[in-house]
Structure 1
Amino acid sequence: MHHQIIGSKEGTATRSLLCLAALTVGAVFLAIGILGFIPGITTDYDSMKFAGHESDAKLFGLFNVSILHNIVHLLFGLAGLAMSRAARTAQLFLVGGGVIYLALWLYGLVVGRHDTANFVPFNTADDWLHFVLGLGMIALGVLLARRAFAGSTRREERQVP
C-alpha cells in the first residue's frame, strides 16, 4: 500500500524544495568525486594514493584527496541523487549526511595529520569544509522538512491501493 499526502500547494512546493536540495547536494558530491580524478583540477595527482595520509594530491590545490576519498564522494553523490526522489528520504540524506560530516569534522580534529588513523586523508581545509557541510546539510534537512511537513497530519493521509 502507498500513502499519499494531501496538502496545500505550498506544502507540495516545499517538499519539492527539500527534494531539490538533496538532489543538488548529491550532484555536487558526485561532481567533486569526478573532479578528484582529473589531473590539473587535482594538484599533485601523480602522488595520489588509494588511502592514507601519504596522499599529497589536493583537489583545487586545497583539499587532500585519495582514491578512497573520491570514491566516497561519488557514492555519497549517488546516494543523494537516489534519496532525493521523496521528501522523507531527501530529509534523511540531508540530516543523516550532515551528522556524518560533523562526525568526520570531529574525527579530523582528533586524528593527527600523519597518523595512520588519518586514512581518508584529512587536512585543516577538509576539516572545516566538513564542519560547514555538516551544519549546512542538517539546516537544509531540518528547516525544509519543518516547512514541508508542517501541514501534514494523520487525518490528511489516506491509503491508496
Structure 2
Amino acid sequence: MSGDNRSAAAGARSATQWVALVLGIVFLVVGVLGFIPGITTDYDTMTWAGHHSDAKLLGIFEVSVLHNVVHLAFGVAGLLMARSLSLARTYLIGGGVVYFAVWIYGVSINRDDAGNFLPVNDADNWLHLGLAVVMILVGGFLPPLETRNAEPASHRVD
C-alpha cells in the first residue's frame, strides 16, 4: 500500500461517523431555520423558553430560543464528535438517551404548567422518540458491525 493510500485510509470515516456528521449538520440546519421568520410560523410569539412560545418550525414543531440553541449545540457536538468512531458512537447513544428523556418529559409534563420550560407538542414528542430510537440503535449496533467486518491487520496485503 502506498503512502497516499495509507493517509486516505487513515482519514476515511466509518458509517457511524458519517451518521453522526449528517445528524450534526441536520441539527445545525434545524437550529438555524428555527430563527428564520416564515420557515418558523408565529415567529413573533417566540419566547426564550417556556410553554408560551407559539412559534412552530415548518408550522409543525413548537420551538423557542432555548430549543433552537439546543439544536445548534447538538449540531456542533455532532460535527466535533464525528471525528472518531468512539466519539461518534458516544454522540449517537448519548444523544439518543437525551432525546428519550426529552420524549418522556414531553409526554408527562402538563403543557400549561409554569414549570414547563420546553415547548413541545405531539409532533415534537413523536420526533423525539424517533430520534432516540434511531440514534441509540445506530450508535449501539453499527460500530460493532463495522469493527467485526473490518479486515484484520494481519491479513492486509501491503
Corresponding residue for residue 95 of structure 2: 97
Distance 1:100 1:125 in 2: 17
Structure 1 residue ranges (4+ consecutive) displaced by more than 4 angstroms after TM superposition: none
- Offset of 1:151 from its aligned partner? 5.7
Corresponding residue for residue 27 of structure 2: 29
Distance 1:18 1:88 in 2: 9
1:41 partner amino acid: I
Higher relative contact order (CA 8 A, sep 6+): 1
Identity within the alignment, %: 52
Distance 1:146 1:117 in 2: 41
Correspondent of 1:127 among 110, 125, 130: 125
* Structure with more strand by fraction: 1
TM-score by length of 2: 0.85
Corresponding residue for residue 56 of structure 1: 54
Distance 1:75 1:126 in 2: 18
Question: Secondary structure at 1:122's aligned position in 2?
Answer: coil
TM-score by length of 1: 0.83
Cα deviation 1:77-112 (Å, max 9, x = unaligned):
000000000000000000110011011101111101
Corresponding residue for residue 5 of structure 2: none
Corresponding residue for residue 85 of structure 1: 83
Cα root mean square deviation, aligned: 1.9
Unaligned 5+ runs, structure 2: 1-8, 154-158
Structure 2 counterparts to residues 1-161 of structure 1, below 5 A: 16-150=14-148
Question: Secondary structure at 1:55's aligned position in 2?
Answer: coil
Question: Secondary structure at 1:85's aligned position in 2?
Answer: coil
User: How many matched pairs?
Assistant: 143
